[in-house]
Chains A and B, each alone.
Chain A
Amino acid sequence: MTARRSAPSAGGAHGTPGPFAREVDVLVVGAGPAGLVAAARLAASGAGRIEVLEREREAGGVPRHCAHGGFGTRTHPLTGPEYARLLAEAAGRAGAVLRTGVTALDWGTAPGAAGAQGSGTGADTGAQHGPVLPGVVLNAVGPGGPETIGARAVVLATGARERPRTARLVPGTRPAGVYTTGELQQAVHLFGQRIGTRAVVVGAEHVSYAAADTLRAAGAEIVALVTEQLRAQVPVTRAQSARLRHRIPLLTQTTVAELLGHGRLSGVRVRHRDGRTAVLSCDTVVFTGDFIPDHELARRGSLALDPGTRGPAVDGFLHTSRFGVFAAGNVLHAVEPADAAAREGARAARAVLGFLAGAAWPGPGVPLAVEAPLRWIAPNRITPAARPERYVLRTAAPLRRPVLYVHQDGRLLHHERPVPAAALPHRTLTLTARWHHRVDATGGEVRVSVR
């Protein structure tokens, strides 16, 4: 199947030139690991015209600016940019069209959908190709102008971002020198910009240590890592190496209470859980972690969100609540490693292929929720036909030798001791899907708790 192009029509009332309208088979939004792998698989399987929209000037998503290693496989380790390039090239080779500098803005109405106005000239062209699926329509914009793209299926792979200082409601002045890791990495690794000389890193998870490495590469001294938690959420060796080899102090059970300075940051006031406060003088502060799915497009399309992850709610085959729309990668669960996002991209591709081949769109299914101190779980909808590979979860508090329990309507479906035996906040915790067949598809919410 090839793209069906029609004269500008959608949106243009009475002969005014509307946006350029086209149709593709699958439209993928976001060229990060999830989107690129989904597109590569779909193109390689002959699913027709596969187009990827990426709003940045280069494909690759977040790994583009993760100059450090930690990507690829154990046998074939890669840096972020290498990994990003590899995935982009693979998608291109498979025949997917990567369109960078193009932003998906919001949703349009499908021309064939009930309720859409007038069946203008497009009607007979459509008829030649047999009945066109109601499909999904997205409005996009790029240097070529606005366009309306109809697709038989859409994969949302818009990723996740760190919550900035404002969203964390950290009080104080509004000086320059306040970063997230994403901005810091781009500033240093993509643009070679100057940072500061003395930096405080907020957080002590993987991404925080990556930020510390970037700061050191940019020539800044690291005053401290600051975390509200009891300990760092990385393996002991990583934390020790930072503390001993690079002499970076780790302040635990400590929060940033205030930013100081006019014009440029002059320091941060920190508060220990016991009430003591101190001022760390610095000209740079990096707020790391605290990821949130980039769910704007999902919300604009009225996709049901999961209250825990704040990403689109999906079943084990990554169907969202909207017909024809799938979602994969960190937009579902901020934030898992790149290879997890990539695997979900592949899984979404399989589900899309099934859908294009005529598989029915599932109903909303049974919701899956967690109890405190668990924070979220994904996927978070259970439909009978769509057993996931596994579930990922997060806990808000450290758990030693936890046991996860799965209940539905008071009935115990399953319990399991996850590996590894200790669970930390901001670290992946997984649950198998072995209990999937025990769920009553007509029953109430399934709940996961921990003891």
Chain B
Amino acid sequence: MTVTAQGPLPTGSYDVAVVGAGVVGCAVARELARHPRLRIALVEAQDDVGQGTSKANTAILHTGFDAAPGTLEARLVHEGYERLGAYAAETGIPVERVGALLVAWDAEQLAALPELAQKAERNGCHDTSLLGPDELYAREPRLGPGALGALHVPGESIICPWTTTLAYATQAVRAGVDLHLNAKVERAHRGTGEDHLLQTTRGVLSARRLVNAAGLHADTLDRLLGHEDFTVTPRRGQLLVYDKLARPLVRHILLPVPTALGKGVLVAPTVYGNVLLGPTAEDLDDKRATGSTADGLAGLRDKGRRVLPDLVDEEVTAVYAGLRAATGQEDYRIAVHPEQGYVTVGGIRSTGLTASLAIAAHVTGLLQDTGLDLGPVREPQPLTMPNLGEAFPRPYQRPELIAADPEYGTLVCHCERVSRGEIRDALAGPVPPRSLEGLRRRTRARAGRCQGFYCGAAVRELFESAQNEGIRT
């Protein structure tokens, strides 16, 4: 098992280098790792997996009911939904099948619902139904006044994006993939032996095949490889996360009826037992603009107040902004360049989490088109991820676990009920966190309403002593 975060990169040549350890890159690496003959590198600019858009999205497992029919995205979302649903059940990634309601607030929106139902049908989503106001309010008693009806999409689900990315990365690393962190690819060229030579901030890495899963930066890397196919425009989405005490207010994912401007602002439960409000949609040109703005937050609160009036009185536990990779086209930009031994996985917009496993399978097929011999298959060892979800027993709720190890009954983060045992396990994991934020994504420690007032220093103490231990051993 190899995860490196500093020092020079290995000198030998890899069969495949995947650039970008977001949910898509990690999924591709995991899929390739099923082929033990391949030597694979997963190269990431930041100090952890899933640090880009993968950590800051709306965390919905989409049925793809509203995709543009016939597109690659529609197909991969549909397929990815099934695959990830099954994978989540197998590995313990929290998923809750809460269903979505597209709520119509005026006559025009109401009139648009039947067409959306037909579109869902064409996307292979056959179980939607139209609800009148009575049924709608029976399902969502706390919904604001004035809703006229809704389209019910029972399959829409919520999922933990952090556990998903980490599960892929863990399985990939366990199966022999080398994960190189803090290695930003700055230049790429062809060496003498037809190898790609990637100039990174940690030195040169060579690989016969290259997969570009660089998310927001996929266009930059694509240009380094000589292609001018697309430009990524970061579309910022700001979100508010409300405290767990707000969770009883909402039962479904509440979506607005989509307009030309995008999918609009939703209110949705999270698997951690919070309520999300967002995202905004702002086209920007700065790929680092992950800040929230006063206007953005005020606008969200206005919309949220209309949908779920009691929500905005609850405490906000997190404010974040993610950047979606918009390319000006209603589809993914996945392309293979066989002569170069290169696959671009660009423009994975706001559905990449759902589609990740299907994208991985698709990309593996494209790599074969470049002449890559995958060799035999060995299925990865089964994996059980720590449960961060409220719909399944958390460690503090499991007497047998605490009896075996009292550390699971010793709570450190009180708001999120995270035990010392879970923090210890995360710090010792195969892909360990390198920051308190990374620890938060693995355990939820410090993610609650007090944001560290009670536990911040204690959690930092556990983190720092593990780091020091790591240095000593």
A contact residues vs B (CB 8 Å cutoff): 17, 19, 55-56, 101, 103, 105, 141-146, 161-167, 169, 171-174, 176, 179-180, 182-183, 186-187, 190-191, 193, 257-259, 262, 292, 296, 299
Instruction: Tell me, yes or no, whether B364 is within 8 Å of chain A by CB.
Output: no
With A and B bound together, what is the CA distance between A119 and B146 in angstroms?
Answer: 48
Instruction: Tell me, yes or no, whether B224 is within 8 Å of chain A by CB.
Output: no
**B291-A258 in contact (CB<8A):** yes
Contacts of A105 in B (CB 8 A): 396, 417
Chain B minimum-CB-distance residue to A159: B454
**A171-B292, A299-B245 given as contacts; is B414 within 8 A of A55 (CB)?**
yes
Question: Interface residues of B, CB < 8 Å — how many?
Answer: 44
**B457-A191 in contact (CB<8A):** yes
Contacting residue for B315 out of A19, A143, A165, A292, CB 8 A? A292
B contact residues vs A (CB 8 Å cutoff): 241, 245, 288, 290-294, 296-297, 315-320, 396-397, 399, 402-403, 406-407, 409-411, 414-415, 417, 435-437, 449-454, 456-458, 460-461, 464
**A171-B319 in contact (CB<8A):** yes
Contacts of B417 in A (CB 8 A): 103, 105
Contacts of A172 in B (CB 8 A): 291-292
Chain B minimum-CB-distance residue to A294: B450
**B460-A187 in contact (CB<8A):** yes
**A55-B414, A143-B407, A146-B397 given as contacts; is B449 within 8 A of A167 (CB)?**
yes
**A103-B411 in contact (CB<8A):** yes
Contacting residue for A141 out of B317, B402, B450, CB 8 A? B402
Contacts of B291 in A (CB 8 A): 171-173, 258-259
Contacts of B464 in A (CB 8 A): 193
**A167-B315 in contact (CB<8A):** yes
**A146-B399, A187-B457, A190-B457 given as contacts; is B293 within 8 A of A164 (CB)?**
no
**A55-B414, A171-B319, A174-B320 given as contacts; is B460 within 8 A of A191 (CB)?**
yes
Nearest chain B CB to A7's CB is how many angstroms away? 15
Contacting residue for B410 out of A101, A167, A299, CB 8 A? A101
Contacting residue for B409 out of A142, A166, A167, CB 8 A? A142
Nearest chain B CB to A193's CB is how many angstroms away? 6
**A176-B436 in contact (CB<8A):** yes
Contacts of A171 in B (CB 8 A): 291-294, 296-297, 319
**B456-A187 in contact (CB<8A):** yes
Q: List 18 A-B contacts (CB under 8 A).
A: A141-B397, A141-B402, A143-B410, A144-B402, A145-B399, A163-B315, A166-B451, A167-B315, A167-B316, A171-B319, A172-B291, A179-B452, A183-B453, A183-B456, A190-B457, A193-B460, A257-B294, A258-B291
**A146-B450 in contact (CB<8A):** no
With A and B bound together, what is the CA distance between A371 and B458 in angstroms?
Answer: 41
With A and B bound together, what is the CA distance between A425 and B324 in angstroms?
Answer: 43
Nearest chain B CB to A279's CB is how many angstroms away? 14
Nearest chain A CB to B404's CB is how many angstroms away? 10
With A and B bound together, what is the CA distance between A182 and B464 in angstroms?
Answer: 19
With A and B bound together, what is the CA distance between A180 and B396 in angstroms?
Answer: 27
With A and B bound together, what is the CA distance between A257 and B294 in angstroms?
Answer: 8
Q: List 12 other contacts, CB 8 Å, given A171-B294, A182-B450.
A: A141-B402, A146-B399, A164-B450, A166-B317, A166-B451, A167-B315, A173-B290, A174-B319, A180-B453, A180-B456, A183-B453, A183-B454
Contacts of A101 in B (CB 8 A): 410
**A164-B396 in contact (CB<8A):** no
Contacts of B316 in A (CB 8 A): 166-167, 169
**B402-A146 in contact (CB<8A):** yes
Contacts of A186 in B (CB 8 A): 456-458
Nearest chain A CB to B436's CB is how many angstroms away? 7
**B399-A180 in contact (CB<8A):** no
Which A-B residue pairs are the 8 nearest by beta carbons? Answer: A164-B451, A143-B406, A186-B457, A183-B456, A182-B453, A187-B457, A173-B291, A171-B292
Chain A minimum-CB-distance residue to B460: A193
**A162-B453 in contact (CB<8A):** yes
**A167-B320 in contact (CB<8A):** no
With A and B bound together, what is the CA distance between A56 and B457 in angstroms?
Answer: 13
**B461-A191 in contact (CB<8A):** yes
Chain A minimum-CB-distance residue to B318: A166
**A169-B461 in contact (CB<8A):** no
**A144-B406 in contact (CB<8A):** yes
**A183-B410 in contact (CB<8A):** no
With A and B bound together, what is the CA distance between A19 and B398 in angstroms?
Answer: 10
Contacts of A144 in B (CB 8 A): 402, 406, 409
Nearest chain B CB to A331's CB is how many angstroms away? 14
Chain B minimum-CB-distance residue to A164: B451
Contacts of B414 in A (CB 8 A): 55, 103
Contacts of B461 in A (CB 8 A): 191, 193
Contacts of A179 in B (CB 8 A): 452, 456
Nearest chain A CB to B462's CB is how many angstroms away? 10
Nearest chain B CB to A58's CB is how many angstroms away? 11
Contacts of A180 in B (CB 8 A): 450-453, 456
Contacts of B436 in A (CB 8 A): 176
Chain B minimum-CB-distance residue to A19: B399
**A17-B402 in contact (CB<8A):** no
Chain B minimum-CB-distance residue to A299: B245
Chain B minimum-CB-distance residue to A260: B291
Contacting residue for A161 out of B294, B397, B454, CB 8 A? B454
Chain A minimum-CB-distance residue to B397: A146
With A and B bound together, what is the CA distance between A179 and B397 in angstroms?
Answer: 30
With A and B bound together, what is the CA distance between A259 and B457 in angstroms?
Answer: 21
Nearest chain B CB to A389's CB is how many angstroms away? 29
**A167-B315, A167-B317 given as contacts; is B402 within 8 A of A193 (CB)?**
no
Nearest chain A CB to B60's CB is how many angstroms away? 22
